[in-house]
Structure formats: structure tokens, C-alpha cells
Structure 1
Amino acid sequence: MATTNEKTLRLAEFVTWVDTHITGDEKGEAQIFLDRLFKGFGHAGWKEAGATCEKRIKNDNGGTSFADLVWKPVVVIEMKKRGTDLTKHYSQAFTYWTRLVPNRPRYAVLCNFDEFWVYDFETQLDTPVDKLSLSELPSKYGPLNFLFPGDVAPVFGNHQETVTRQAADKLAECFNLMIKRGVEQPLAQRFILQMLMALFAEDIGLLEKYFVTEVLDECKSKQDTYDLLGGLFEAMNTKGGAKGGRFKGVAYFNGGLFAEPARVELDADQRTLLKEASQFNWSKVRPEIFGTIFEHSLGKEARHATGAHFTSPVDIMKVVGPTIVTPWTELIERADTLGRLNELLARIENFTVLDPACGSGNFLYVAYRELKRLEARIYERMAAEYKSVDPQQRPFGFVSTRNFYGMDINPFAVDIAKVTMMLAHKLSIDELHINENALPLDNLDANFRAGDSLVKEDGTRAPWLKADVIVGNPPFLGAKLLKPEFGADYVNKVRAAYPEVPGMADFCVYWFRRAHDELKPCTAADPVAGRAGLVGTQNVRNNASRVGGLDHIAATGTIVDAVDNQPWSGEANVHVSIANWVKTQDDKLLPKMRRLWFKIPPVAGTRKQRRGVGPASKQYELDMREVGYINSGLSDQTDVTGAVPLSVNSNHCYTGQYPRYNDGFVLNIADGKAMIAADPKNSQVVRLFAGGDELLVSGKAARYVIDFQIRSVVEAQAYKKPFERVRTLVLPYIQELARKEREASGRDVGQDQGWLNTWWQHFRSRAELIAKIEKSERFLACSRVTKRPLFMFVSSKVRPSDALTCFVMDDDYSFGILQSQPHYLWFHAKCSNMKSDPRYTSESVFQTFPWPQTPTKTQIEAVAAAGVALRQLRAQAIKNIDGGLRALYRSIELPGKNPLRDAHEALDAAVLAAYGISARKDILQQLLDLNTAVEADLAAGNAVTGPGVPPSYKTPAMLITKDCSGI
């Protein structure tokens, strides 16, 4: 590794060479400049380092652009001619970075031969994490450390997330202390928000530099803070400004935020926190993340801002980009006359955006910033292409914060959002060098509404503010959590107001459906309106949630850009889907190709992966493919939404048992054996117990479970030791749950109280399943949450946990059908999801899956034989590896000949022959057609073939072997 002196000398030689040989021509000199730059950082050249120049990248207009240099997974560099204002080319760098998947570069650099602007879009979207001039390079190369060979971490001087968290911590701690001391919450909130604006104001030029800091230094007592800070806020609310005294010269801010100047007496510790907060450079604090971090820290002394999650701006752009930026960019760049540009200017300055679950306003902040950039692009084109236009003249009004509307149930979050948007105006003026007045700030009281977005107190639908487009991320809450979180009365009120949304839909679905209904249609006269982009739980593309939301949207609209599933930056352990759509199905108004993003793991062994870039939840990338359409399942595959449950498939597929209170019901192997040894009769209720993990890894049950099934409490007491354990460990737990529910609801009935009636039984004992599987020696099962269902026979002596999906089948033919490619494809098309993993659901997957209708005896036996051969190969292979079936199947994705893959291909061929469908045609479409045909025969009373060995096969016992797992 080169020494510091060696690095400095090489880079100094590079600077000298540039001064001597480079004039700054983008096209003619970019590649030689970049080659010498790489040599200056210790490489033989850019080509030798593995970089590519003039890399083809599709742009948002459907054409192809060329990135000057791409070095995956490290950096993309875009060159501009000498003297270029790099501010104007941020969007180009961001677009290139977005498109460079998989193995996307971590950093982006804009360079005009004299300056390097370094971006880290994963943490800071719109502002460089550092800037350095060419002349500074030998002594200040830290921001470009990633260009050196090896894993050299960069050192940035403008990384703003850390400053934002620290600043939020100080204000949040001050607020918490005020509340603890007894200051009324509305007053404390008002004071903190006014203080926040004042701190920003002195560092972004709205107040004299150090003015607030000096006022805070003058505050030596409680009375001083009441008089001086209260006096400052009074001055900020005085039209024309104070005429004299301490606050003479303070400009009028507005009558919204400062309508009621907050006067509070602060203790010494609170004064200290504010003085510490004033030492930060607030121009470096990011408003789009500050609000969320700050809000999440209020009232939670143990949770500081440093631990709060925020929605990253790059995730927000997955909504704002497709819904606002892309359609506007297309219109602006296609405009070919001054008159048309003037029309667009008039339209953009009346264009409105709504976030109906705005929280602290981060989506609206990013939307505002992007819209101001689009407005600036119109002016830029007018001034550059038409001599009659004065670059300083603005013939129309401006895009302002009054173009943006927000709603949220949290009043304080709404107030934070207003402040966030007020700051957005001034920051955009500075970024774009716009000649606009920053003061007074817009009064946004009419633009933001605090209250429930779904229903009013009387149970009718709450009105929404009207806008051209809708963006946001409504609450992530599954259907089963609604009543525990909000109470039955509220949930019933919402469901009554929206009867068209299925009761088992996730909470966010109500916003998806309502947003689509609120939009006016997109038309040729106004192609930028009638659009929406929302983030939802990943279940919005499945089952009841899909029916209630995206199915409704797709009926009269078109999904044009979507992310099928990704971890979300704004919440821990949450996986989401993102849909951007247009309320039209007119092809003339829609892009020819849609963009579908999907999650991929990082490329193994890359510099990015080894460095461990970002938090653990962000260790993934999104790849993108352009597709002809995106269905309401956020997929471009055959849409199997129309597949219906088949009555002939009922009563074959079940979820395993759910004891719920595992400490009471579940035993380790030693304790289970001891309990049976104490009284052999206990073996009737103490049974081996297994889920997917142990069966896939060891093939054996690793636990016992106490299972009284549906025995009465009197019958259960006959098994003394098992009953005593459950009475000791389970009953008190349920009694405590019931007590808490009674206190919370004020009623003597409820779910927890109902459990007291059967406290000795499992929450889900699955009596029907157990009765069926005990009639044979084995049953089929697969893990309920799995990317690839691996089916296995399990001994009927084993009780299956709810981690298993169980099938009441014991024959080799059924195994072959379920383990085949047709069923695998159907599973992925119809499954629900748990975080990032698919989940096998009986209702959507199994009950809709059509079985072969007329297989011959030979075809049935071929499927069974291929299934037996596959299991025999698996059984033999796992003897020689650690990790069982799970480890074995990791090898199937590796290149090269693989006997396991060969066995699956043989099984697939046999199953396709039994179906009579072609591997050369769309298998999903053929299965969907078969589902439709079977349903029609059922409706007509015709005979059909359901799951299991077909009735035409006269000796089904011949298809039953003995191998099984679990014991």
C-alpha cells in the first residue's frame, strides 16, 4: 500500500499534467483525463482497474445515454466541460446511479476538470458529501479514497446525517425535559418548533449570523429565556419588523408558525441543551430526515435520535421519481417552442401534490425540491434557446410550498411537516440560485390538516384535500393487528365506511383505494395529473389486500413503475412494495415499457459487500427490468388473479398446530421422554413436535408437545404431569392477558377472555388435520415460509407445528405433483409474503391449483417413480453433508452438472406429460386455463380430478412407499 507521501506525489503529478495538457473539453479529453486520474490513484489506468468508459445506460426518455466512466461496485463518474455549473447535472448523475444495477456503484462523482463533487446517494440524496478542487487533490484526497486500490474508506467533510441526528437529539431532549418539568405539551411543541426555525434561520441567512447563538448566551436565568426567546419569536411575527430594541432588524417570518409566540421559562439544563444545539451548523441539517428522527425521539427518554429510523431520500425517490419527475421531464424535454414552454411553466406553477399520511413531511419535502428543479429546467431552456427571454425575468408565479398538501392523524407531526416545507423554500432558492424572496415564509395552515384520513367521528368518510397527484407511505399494519392496535369500534367503523375493501386487507390498502378514487383521470390535455405513488406492505400484491387495492386500481388505471418487495428504510424489519400508477388505460398517455424493480442480494465478494455498506437491512440491491405491463400482483408474469378456489381441492391442505404458549406446551426431548416414562399413558398427549427448520436440517423432530386436542378439562386432568405443567405455566399467563384486556376495554368479553374457556388446549389444535393424518403412517409437508417449497413425508407420530403446511396425502404421485415445476410456479404466483419470504397459503395456492385431469396409468406411475427417485437421491446425498435438505438445495443454483437438478428435470417432464401441457408455452397460462376449465366442469356437475391419486388408478396402495421424516 502506498504511503501518504507517495499518494501526494502521484496526485501532484496528475494535477501538473492536467494544468499542462487539458483545456477542459468534455468530449475530446474526458477519457484521457480519467485514465490519468486512475494512474494518479495508483492504477495502471481505468481499463486495467476494470472500469468501463462510455457505458450505455437507458434514460428516462426511452433513449440511450452514455456514462463517462463506470467502475462497479465503486463509482460512476460523469464529466462536464470546464466551467460547467455542476449543480445542474445532479439529476443526470442520480439517474445513471439508479440504472446501474446489479452491483450498483456506491458513489457518484460529477467533475468539470476543475472540481470533483462526490455523492453518496445511499445516505444523502441531493447534496454532495464533499467537494474538492483539482488543486486541492494532493492534500485533500480523502473524499476520493475509494479510487485507491484495495478497500480504502473515504473521508467526507459534508456527511449530513450525523449532524442531523445530533441536532435532533438536543432539541428532543430539551422537549422531553420541558414535559417532565410540567410545561403543557402544546406550549412545549410550539416553543420547540419556533426554536427549530430560529436555529435554521441564523445558518441559512434568514437571520443575522450568530444572532440566535448570542441571544441564547444572554439567557442566564428562567426569566431571560421567557423574555429574550419569547421576544425573538414575537419579532419574527411582527409585520415590518421590530422598530427598535434588541430585535431591531429581525425580519417578519409569518403569522402561521409564529402566530402565537411561545414564551417559556427554561431551567439551566434546558438552556444548556439549546446552547449546545446552536453550535451545530444548521445549514448542514437535512430537513427531510430531521422531522422523522425528531418526532420519533419525543417523549422517549431511552430512545435518542441516534437510534431512530428515517425513510431515506433514495427510497422516497422511488415514488416521487416515477409519479412526478419522469412525466414532467418528458414534457419539458419534448417541448419545441417557446409557447409550449410557457404553457408548461403556467401548469407547473399550479401543479399540486398531496400526501394523505404525511407524517413529518419528508415525501412532500422531496417532491417540492424536485418540482423546483423541474421549474428551473423550464427557465433554463427558455433562456438558453430563446434570445427574447430575459434569464432574470419570471413571467408567471412561482412553484411554492402552497402547491403541497398534507394530512396526518398526529397533530404535532403535521406541525413539523409545515416547518419542514417552510425550510424547503429557502433551501431550494439557495441550491438553484433563484431570485425569489425567502421571507415571509408561506403560511401553510390551510395546506395541512390534522385528523383521521379515513373516517370522521360519525363514521362517514373523511374528506381529502384535492391535488393533481398523490404520494406517500400510509401506515404499515397487517389486518390481524388492526383491532389490537386501534380497538374493535374504530376498525368496525372503518370497515363499514369502506365495505368494498375486504376485512382481511392490510391497513394501507384503504389509502391505495381511496387515493385512486380521489384522483381525477389523466388526460391528453393534462398528462401530468391523475398519478399516484404509494408505499405499502408487501401484502398489497396478495390475496385480500390485492383485491381491495391494486386490483381496483388496475381495473381503470395502469401501474407503470413498481418495486415488488424490499426492506424499508423507514421502519425496522419491515418489507414493502411500491406501486406508481396512472389513472388511465389510454396507451397514448402511457410509456411503452414499464419498470419493474426486484430485490437481489449483493454480488458476493465485491468491495461493497466486504465493507458492509449501510445498515444490515440495506444489504441488498434492486435490479430493474423493462416490461410490457405490470399486473396488480406487481409482476410481469401471467396474471393468475382470475384463478378461483376449486371445491374439489378442499380439506386436503392445513396449517400445523399453534400452541401459542410455547413455554407451557412445548418440551425439549429429555423432558418429553421423562414425562412419558413417568406414566406410559402420557404418550397419548405428549407427542413429538416439529417445524420446518428441524425437518429440513436434521430430518428429525427435536421437541415434544403437550396436546390434549379437544379433550375437556376433566379428561385432561387424567394425565397428571402434562396437565400440571400446563396449569402452572399456561393458565396464569392467559389469566393475566384476560385481566389486561378487561381493564383496557372495560368489558367482560373479548378474545383474551375467551381463551380462558379452553386454556389447556392449543390456540390452534387442528383437530381435523390430526384426525386425518392419524389414519395413515405419513403425510406430506413443506415449510410454510419458504422461497422454494421442499416437500417431504413426515411420520404421523409427529405433531406438525404451524411453521409447516401439511397435506393429507401419503402417496408418491401426490409428492411428485407438488414438488414439480408447475406447482412451484403456481406457488410463487399465488403465495402471500412474510417480510421478504413467500408464504404457502392454503386458500390462495393449494385450493386454486388444478391437478392433472386425465393422466394415464403409465403417466401416473412415471410421476410416482420420478418422485421416489428424487427422494432416494436426496436421502443418499444428505448423508455426506452437514445441514440436511436445506444445505443440499443450495447446490442446485450453482453452475455445472448436478444430479439433483437432473432428478428434478426428470420429475418435471413426467408431471408435464401427466398434465398434457407444453414446457415451450407459458406454463402459468396453461394452468390458469385448466383452473377455469375445472371450475366450469364443477359448475356443470361434471366429474373432475382433484388432489391425490386419480380415481381411475385402481391400485393406489401400489404408489405408497414407507420413507418419512420426523423420527
Structure 2
Amino acid sequence: MDTGHRKSWDDIRRDATRFAKDWRLAYDEKSQAQSFLVAFFQVFGVETRQVATFEHRTKLLDGSQGFIDLLWKGCILIEMKSKGKNLDKALEQARAYVETLPPHEIPRAIVVSDFQNFHVHDLVRGGECTRFKLADLRKYVKLFGMFLGLDAEAVHEQNPVNRKAAERMAALHDALQAIGYAGHPLEVYLVRLLFCLFAEDSEIFEHGQFTGFIREHTASDGSDLATKLAGFFEVLDTPPAQRLSILDPVVAAFPYVNGGLFHERLPVAAFSREMRESLLKCMELDWSEISPAIFGAMFQGVMNPAERRALGAHYTSEENILKLLRPLFLDDLQEELEETIALRGPGRKRALNAFHDKLASLTFLDPACGCGNFLIITYRELRRLELRLLRALREDDPSQVLDVALLLRITVDQFAGIEIEPFPAEISRVSLWLVDHLCNREASLEFGQNYARIPIRDTPRILCANALATDWRTLAPDAPETRPFSYILGNPPFNGARTMSPEQKADVLAVFDDTVGVGNLDFVTAWYKKATDLIQGTSTRCAFVSTNSISQGEQVAILWKPLMERNHVVIDFAYRTFKWRNEASGNAAVHCVIVGFSCKNQALVKDTASKNKTLYDESGAPHPARNINAYLVDAPNVFVESRSKPICDVPDMVFGNMPNDAKGLLSNYSTETKETLCAKYPESTAVFKPLLGAEEFINKKERWCLWFKGVSPAMIRTIPEIREAIEKVRESRATSTRPGTRKLAATPYLFGEIRQPETSYILVPSVSSERREYVPMGFMDKNTICTNLALMIPDATLYHFGVLESRMHMAWMRAVCGRLEMRYRYSKDIVYNNFIWPEADEARTAAVTQAAQAVLDARARYAESTLADLYDPLTMPPELSKAHARLDALVDKLYGRVFATDADRVAHLFALYAATVKIM
């Protein structure tokens, strides 16, 4: 797109700064939005009249009329709201508009703004969101590269100051550790220095006070620095009235901090000239700019050399944290506040004060708090609501002088956490103090009063302990029985069942007590059990980020069946599987779900289980749900348990053949190697068979194996290459630690486990990409050997193939299968054996059979292509797509209903499954 002469980024940043200053007081959508946007585009040298339309008319899917505030077709859609309005609702509105647009008009990004805040949703990157303030626009201008015909550049949330600060603290850490000052004393020492650096730049200390003390009142060679710091720390922990009368006035001028941070007596450290300079370099940064939410995780990385290279790689982004906080409580609180502010008359002030009481009464627990990211963001968001409320109170009586010290009622002692490691626990505690002070500064600016909570009197209840061996209620000893905490939230450890330490396994066993199958559960599930035990008969609501495996495969019935049937757990909201990306170098990504839950409580007037339920799909779009079951599907609560035989009268599915052959000595021959051996030893042709696993089948890779079943092994002795390979297999099996494998050494020329059928069979890949609408399956003859990385259905017909390749079966598979990362892991005992097959008369069976053959015929037209090519959504041939659509329609009819979505299909299958199991 050509927008004329392109401005330089330097000019754009300069104009962005001026724009932010000019529009800093803008607030009203109706009177100011269009002028604001015209000026916004001029920052980039773009005239809106040439490229965009204001109030673009569109017809919504429900038939109503909508007006998009600004649409630049194919580029950007902008929705403006008045200052303080809910931007999440604005995003929902914008997404509804996008759904009405023809493909060529769909924008690359959605922007929602209330003048002071921008939320930029990059649709090219799957809805990835970047949030920033108007004042910070100059830092984020490259997000709008599409205005200049460029790709938008992602802007990480983390301020470079966070990284520089962590790196400089890392240098100081290494220097102290090198002289032998290590372990717990070093950890506490650095946290104290962190607090002092922050205090100097955020008006807890006088500006330059700490730097001046170090630079001007300690020796340049560092010889007295450690001694003076030890005395200094003691002064910060001493009330002014109790300080020595002849104390150095420079030190005596520092305020009393309290809070326990400086209470512990530490060994005296030592500093060299270089180490003193290292500390002074730390002081060059503006520590008021660090984000407590980000810096905590980075600071933890400082202490662990193994994590140093990817400093901050495990920091959880604010956007991801808000995915949990918004549906758990934040959306409801924001909506309630806006409704309260909208009231008119004498009851408004009373309602605002009642809402303030509510905010001040809320309590939060993160039982795996780490460095406190979830608690920090939660605290900040609550303080923002409080500030919005106080603005509304001031609007009612502008002449009234409000005392900020009396009005700010939300405190850090409403927050509790449990962390097993001492250092992150300390960081969590200090970070909450830091974010509290930043919020106090914001309130001070708003009301023109200087306010700081120093000395510290309110302390977050951060317990350094094993959360799974701790009674969580001890963190709220005075809380009522019906609400130990208002909300329990967090991101417990992601260790899988096979990667836990012996100590972690013991913890899980202790938490679940007599639960059958607990050895197959992930570590995170123990937090679900602890939480549900605590919240029985209470109004407490919970939400955890978890590995997606807790809603898939065999773990579902083991975990959720007792929780839902015995503990009366109800899922209030959930995010289906998505990539939990972190905003740092390395960009650590885990495939996660978010589950919000509570317990049915008949004793409460307002039972949390009766709340409207919301299910968020993989893109983050919300969908109302009648019931969210353990598979995170809008369907009844049923539990698909492992079953060794099919629930319906269909052919058995079996595993493929397992070589157990010392990494391919029987099973991994290329076509070239096989042909060389066959040319040299023609008799070996009889023992080479084509071999397929999921990888070979889907990607059309040739692979061969030695197959001696039913063949005389005499040639083993006459072909040296084969004899040598089999001898190595024998040695490998004979030296195995498994008794069963050692027995197999008696027949080293045979596969370890043989299940090859004597008839043709359907091959089903055990793992398949989540991008495919259909898992490709196919017919194989009996001479094609199937490995244990695929599954087989001997004696299956085209009718069976047709039902298995239908959208109906695929919807079932996606709902109940396990996953390997995001890829589908097809399970015989969970997916196939529990699938409810339809009743079909002869005519309908014939129709499905014919449609199934049409799918195979469509594939055959592209014999040179792989199944990966044919089933890639971007390259699937039209003939194959139409053949599948025809097959889908016929199979749907067998179930006696018309299904609008896969969710409808899954709900129907769950109902059929529940009815079938009930009568068995």
C-alpha cells in the first residue's frame, strides 16, 4: 500500500511524543474520537480520508446494524471508547464486526482504545495482544508498520530497564559469590539492595540519597562498604525514636522501613573497588521504571547460573495472567463498578462506598506463587479499580478535599502466597511492596498529595513452604468458614507424571490418598485436589493454569470424576488448549489450559456454581456454555475411562508391532540398503518387508524391516550383515534391565512384540498434527508391517473407514484424546473403544461405503503427493475436500440429527456415551 512519502521512525517517534502530550486529557468517544484518530494517523504520515472510513456500516450476524468506528480495509479496525470503559467488551464488539467482513477487507489488526490505553490485537499472529499507555506510544510505533506497508513488529512487554537491571545485579551477585558470600545471606543481601535502589528512585528515600551515601561516605576502594551497609541496614530496621543519638546524620536521615526486610542479622560481606563500582553502576538506572511483575522472575534468574543465559525466559506475560484474572473476578468487578458509577441520585455515593468495602474485603491466595507475578498483577488491577472509584467520588463533590491516606483501603495483607523456595518467596513479598508503592505514587499524582506507606505496616502473607504439605487455611486464620479466601489462583508447576522427582510423587500420593490411578496424574493436579478440599461448603472461586493433559486422555477420569462427583466441583470457565508464551528471550512456550472452578454449595444464597459459564476457544474467543465438562467441552459431565474392548460391535483395534531391536537393527533399513543386500544375497528378498509407522505413512517415507516370522531363519547364518545385526540385537536384549526383554534374547531375529494380522487392515497414526481437519487413515495389505507408532484395525471394511474418517469421529477424537504438545495422540482404549457407532441399515451402510471409496479415489488422483500434503488445510485438493464433506454429511445423518458445529457433535456423542454406559 502506498501512502505517499514515508516518514522515518525517528520522526514518527518524535510526533508520537507530541501526540501523546496533546491528547493526554482526551476522554469522550462521541466528541473526540474522530479528531483523535485523524491526529493519530498523521503521526505516521497517513491521511485518514485517503485510506479509511469512519462509522463504517456493517450488518451483524444477528441481523442488527453496526458501525465500525474506523476501518482501513485489509489493514486495521479501530474501536474507540470513552476513558475508563471496559476495553474487553470493545474487543468483543470489534471481533463481531470482523466476522461480517468479506475476506479481502479483514484487517491485520484490531485496536481498541479509551484514549489513554491502547490494546493492539495482531490477527496475523493469532490475536496476540500488546497493551500500552498513550504516554508510551513512542515505544510501540513499530506495531503499526502496516500503515507504511511494512510488517508490524512485535514489541515485547518488558522494558529494557528490567533486563539491564537484572544483568547488573547478576554481575554484583557473581562478584559476591566469588569471594565466598553465598547461599541465603547472599539472596537476602541482594533483595535488600534491590529495595534500596528502587526506594531512591521512587521517593521512598530522597532522590539521590542512597547513591550519595555510597559514593560520598564510603571509601573508593570498597574497604569499608560492607561494614557501612551492615550498619545502614540496621538503621532502616530501627524506628527513629530508638536510633542512637550520635548516629551519622547522613544515615539517620533515612526513613524507618519496617516490614521485616532488614530485620535478620546477616554475616558482614566484603567489597573490592571493582565490586563497589559494580554497585554504583546499578545506581545509574532509573529503578522506578522496573516492573515488579517482570523483574522478580528475572532476578530469580540472576541467582541460578543455569537459567542466566535465558534471563527471564520463564516470566509469565501480563497478557497471559490477565487471561485468568479477567473471567475469574476482574470482568465482574469492572462491570459492577461501571454500573455503580452510572447510578444517579443520592444512592450513588452509598453504592460506591459499598463497592469500596467489597474491594477491601477480598482476599487472594496463590499456592504456587513463585516470584509473585499473579499476586502483583492482581494487586495492581484492584488498585486501579479503587482509583477509578475514588475519581467517581471526587466527581460528586469536586470541592471536597480527599485525604488519600484515609481513602486508599486496599492493602497487600489481603494477599497470600506459598512458595517452596526461599528466594522467590522473598522476591514475591518485596515485589508486592514495590507495586504497592507504585500504586501509591499514581494515587498521589491523581489527587495532588504525596503519600507513601512507609514505615511498612501491612505485609503480604507469603509462606515459604511445601504447598502440598501445608494447610492452606493457616494463611487465613481469621477468615470465616464459608470463605477462607475470596479467590485461589496461580500457575502451579508443570511437571508431568513421568518427570516428577520421587519427593514430588510422594507429595501427590499423600494429597490424593486412596485415589485409583494417581500415578498417572501430572504434578499440577495435586493443587486442584488441595483447592477443592479447602473450598467445600464455601463461596471461594479458583482458577489455575495447567498443562493441557489434565483435560485429555486417561487423566480426565482419574482426576475429575472424584472431584465432580464427590467434591461437587463445577467448572465456571475454561480456556481450551493454547500456547502459553512468555515475553522474554527464548520465548518459552507450553501447551496449557486455564480452568476456573468452584463447588456447588446449597447453603449459600448465591451459589457460585449457578454463574453463567464461558468457554474460550483456542483463539481466545469466548462462547457461553450451559455446562463445561472435564474435557472442556459444552456437554454433560461424563468420564471416558480406559476400555480394553470396543463399547460397540466393531472390529478390535490393536497396537502395531514393536521391534525392540537396539535402535533399528531389525526395523530401520533404507531402500538403498535393502536393494544392495538383495542384489548381493537374492535369497534375502524373502525377509525384507515394507514397514510403516505414523511418520512413514503420513509422509510417504520408504522404510524396510527384516521379518522372519514364518520364514526359515537359516539364511541368518549365511548372510554376514544380517547375522551381525541379529547378534547385536541378542546382546542388547540379554543385557536389558527388564526381565521381559531378556527373555526376548532367545529369538533375536523376531520383533519383540508381534501383532501383524493375516488380513488387510486400516492403519491409524498414533500421532497427527493438530492443523489437520482429519487424521489420515488408510488400508494396508498384510505384508506391510505396522510399527508400534501406529494402530491397526484388522478385518475392517470401507464402512468402518468412512465412519472413522468422518467429522463426527474427528470431533470425538479431539475432545477425548491425549496430546503430544499440540498434536493429537490417538488412543485405542480411550478414543476408539469408547466411540459410539451409529445404527445403519443396509442402504445407509452402502451410501457411507461409497462415500468412503470416493475419499480414497480423490487421494489416488494425487498419488505423487504425501498425506501430509493432501491433508494440510492450505493445500488440500478441492476434490478431496468435497469427498470428505459428502462423507461427513452421510455419517451425521446416521446419528439422526443435523449438527451445526463440532461442539454439537461432541455434546451428542457424550450423551450417547452416558446412556450406553448407564445400561451396561
> What aligned pairs does 1:167-206 form with structure 2 within 5 A after superposition?
167-206=165-204
Q: Which amino acid aligns with 1:359?
A: G
Moved more, 490-499 or 577-586: 490-499
User: Deviation per CA, 1:21-78, whole angstroms, max 9, x where unpaired?
Assistant: x9997523432453465367444426833676799999xxxx9999855668657464
> What aligned pairs does 1:569-580 form with structure 2 within 5 A after superposition?
569-570=581-582, 572-580=588-596
Question: Structure 1 residues 29 and 427 mapped into 2: Cα distance closer, same or farther (>3 Å)?
Answer: closer
Q: Which residue of 2 aligns with 1:380?
A: 391
Q: Which residue of 2 aligns with 1:598?
A: 617
1:816 Cα offset (Å): 1.8
1:259 Cα offset (Å): 1.0
> What aligned pairs does 1:641-656 form with structure 2 within 5 A after superposition?
641=639, 645=643, 647-649=645-647, 652-656=652-656
1:327 to 329, 332, 340: 332
Moved more, 214-223 or 1-10: 1-10
Q: Which amino acid aligns with 1:293?
A: M
Structure 2: distance between partners of 1:560 and 1:886: 38
1:830 to 816, 819, 824: 816
Q: Which residue of 2 aligns with 1:885?
A: 867
> What aligned pairs does 1:227-242 form with structure 2 within 5 A after superposition?
227-240=227-240
Q: Which amino acid aligns with 2:540?
A: G
Structure 1: distance between partners of 2:763 and 2:206: 75
Q: Which residue of 2 aligns with 1:870?
A: 855
> What aligned pairs does 1:197-216 form with structure 2 within 5 A after superposition?
197-216=195-214
Q: Secondary structure at the match of 2:763?
A: strand
Structure 1: distance between partners of 2:93 and 2:745: 57
Q: Which amino acid aligns with 1:279?
A: E
Moved more, 753-762 or 236-245: 753-762
1:49 to 32, 47, 52: 52
Question: Structure 1 residues 285 and 395 mapped into 2: Cα distance closer, same or farther (>3 Å)?
Answer: closer
User: Deviation per CA, 1:502-559, whole angstroms, max 9, x where unpaired?
Assistant: 432221111123223322656xxxxxx5111110111222234333545556553443
Q: 2:403 aligned with 1:392, yes or no?
A: yes
> What aligned pairs does 1:676-695 form with structure 2 within 5 A after superposition?
687-695=689-697
Q: Which amino acid aligns with 2:848?
A: V
Q: 2:883 aligned with 1:903, yes or no?
A: yes
1:475 Cα offset (Å): 0.9
Q: Which residue of 2 aligns with 1:34?
A: 37
Q: Which amino acid aligns with 1:874?
A: R
Q: Which amino acid aligns with 1:824?
A: M
Q: Secondary structure at the match of 1:186?
A: helix
> What aligned pairs does 1:105-254 form with structure 2 within 5 A after superposition?
105=109, 110-111=114-115, 128=133, 130-131=135-136, 146=145, 148-151=147-150, 160-217=158-215, 218=218, 220-240=220-240, 244-245=247-248, 246-254=250-258
User: Deviation per CA, 1:416-439, whole angstroms, max 9, x where unpaired?
Assistant: 111111111101112233764321
> What aligned pairs does 1:481-496 form with structure 2 within 5 A after superposition?
481-482=499-500, 485-486=501-502, 490=506, 493-494=509-510
User: Deviation per CA, 1:283-319, whole angstroms, max 9, x where unpaired?
Assistant: 1211101111221342316733546231000100111
Structure 2: distance between partners of 1:930 and 1:178: 66
Structure 1: distance between partners of 2:159 and 2:92: 21
Question: Structure 1 residues 331 and 45 mapped into 2: Cα distance closer, same or farther (>3 Å)?
Answer: closer
User: Deviation per CA, 1:843-887, whole angstroms, max 9, x where unpaired?
Assistant: 22111112344x3344434333332232122111344xxx42222
Query: Is residue 653–residue 808 contact of structure 1 (8 Å, CA) maintained in 2?
Result: yes
1:356 to 324, 343, 367: 367
Query: Is residue 831–residue 840 contact of structure 1 (8 Å, CA) maintained in 2?
Result: yes
Structure 1: distance between partners of 2:733 and 2:304: 30
Question: Structure 1 residues 308 and 498 mapped into 2: Cα distance closer, same or farther (>3 Å)?
Answer: farther
2:836 to 850, 853, 870: 850
Q: Secondary structure at the match of 1:407?
A: strand
Q: Which amino acid aligns with 2:150?
A: D
Question: Structure 1 residues 687 and 401 mapped into 2: Cα distance closer, same or farther (>3 Å)?
Answer: farther
Question: Structure 1 residues 715 and 15 mapped into 2: Cα distance closer, same or farther (>3 Å)?
Answer: closer
Structure 2: distance between partners of 1:302 and 1:631: 38
Q: Which amino acid aligns with 1:635?
A: V
Q: Secondary structure at the match of 2:200?
A: helix
Structure 2: distance between partners of 1:755 and 1:463: 50
1:379 Cα offset (Å): 2.7
Q: Which residue of 1 aligns with 2:492?
A: 474
User: Deviation per CA, 1:305-338, whole angstroms, max 9, x where unpaired?
Assistant: 5462310001001112222312323443444533
1:189 Cα offset (Å): 0.6
Q: Secondary structure at the match of 2:543?
A: strand
1:757 to 720, 742, 766: 742
Structure 2: distance between partners of 1:120 and 1:908: 38
Q: Which residue of 1 aligns with 2:896?
A: 917
Q: Secondary structure at the match of 1:448?
A: strand
Structure 2 gap segments, 5+ residues each: 99-106, 123-127, 477-483
C-alpha RMSD of matched pairs (Å): 4.8
> What aligned pairs does 1:778-817 form with structure 2 within 5 A after superposition?
778-787=761-770, 788-817=774-803
Q: Secondary structure at the match of 1:877?
A: coil
1:729 Cα offset (Å): 9.1
Structure 1: distance between partners of 2:312 and 2:278: 19
Q: Which residue of 1 aligns with 2:825?
A: 839
1:463 Cα offset (Å): 6.5
1:821 Cα offset (Å): 2.9
TM-score where L is the length of structure 2: 0.79
1:635 Cα offset (Å): 2.2
Query: Is residue 67–residue 76 contact of structure 1 (8 Å, CA) maintained in 2?
Result: yes
User: Deviation per CA, 1:190-240, whole angstroms, max 9, x where unpaired?
Assistant: 111111111111111112223333444445345333123323322222222
TM-score where L is the length of structure 1: 0.76
1:98 Cα offset (Å): 7.3
1:758 Cα offset (Å): 6.2
Q: Which residue of 1 aligns with 2:542?
A: 532
Structure 2: distance between partners of 1:731 and 1:840: 33
Question: Structure 1 residues 930 and 362 mapped into 2: Cα distance closer, same or farther (>3 Å)?
Answer: closer
Structure 2: distance between partners of 1:159 and 1:930: 47
Q: Which amino acid aligns with 1:233?
A: F
Question: Structure 1 residues 508 and 260 mapped into 2: Cα distance closer, same or farther (>3 Å)?
Answer: same
Q: Which amino acid aligns with 1:596?
A: L
Q: Which residue of 2 aligns with 1:403?
A: 414
Q: Secondary structure at the match of 2:596?
A: strand
Q: Which residue of 2 aligns with 1:954?
A: none
Structure 1 gap segments, 5+ residues each: 81-85, 523-528, 601-621, 739-751, 940-967
Q: Which amino acid aligns with 2:411?
A: S
> What aligned pairs does 1:638-717 form with structure 2 within 5 A after superposition?
641=639, 645=643, 647-649=645-647, 652-657=652-657, 662=663, 666-674=668-676, 687-698=689-700, 701-705=701-705
Structure 2: distance between partners of 1:500 and 1:453: 22
Q: Which residue of 1 aligns with 2:479?
A: none
Question: Structure 1 residues 297 and 837 mapped into 2: Cα distance closer, same or farther (>3 Å)?
Answer: farther
Q: Secondary structure at the match of 1:202?
A: helix
Percent identity between matched residues is 22
1:300 to 284, 293, 305: 305
Query: Is residue 173–residue 302 contact of structure 2 (8 Å, CA) maintained in 1?
Result: no
Q: Which residue of 2 aligns with 1:450?
A: 464
Q: Which residue of 1 aligns with 2:101?
A: none
Question: Structure 1 residues 220 and 596 mapped into 2: Cα distance closer, same or farther (>3 Å)?
Answer: same
1:468 Cα offset (Å): 1.8
1:830 Cα offset (Å): 1.9
Query: Is residue 696–residue 884 contact of structure 1 (8 Å, CA) maintained in 2?
Result: yes
How many equivalent residue pairs?
Answer: 852
Q: Which residue of 2 aligns with 1:615?
A: none
Q: Which residue of 2 aligns with 1:616?
A: none
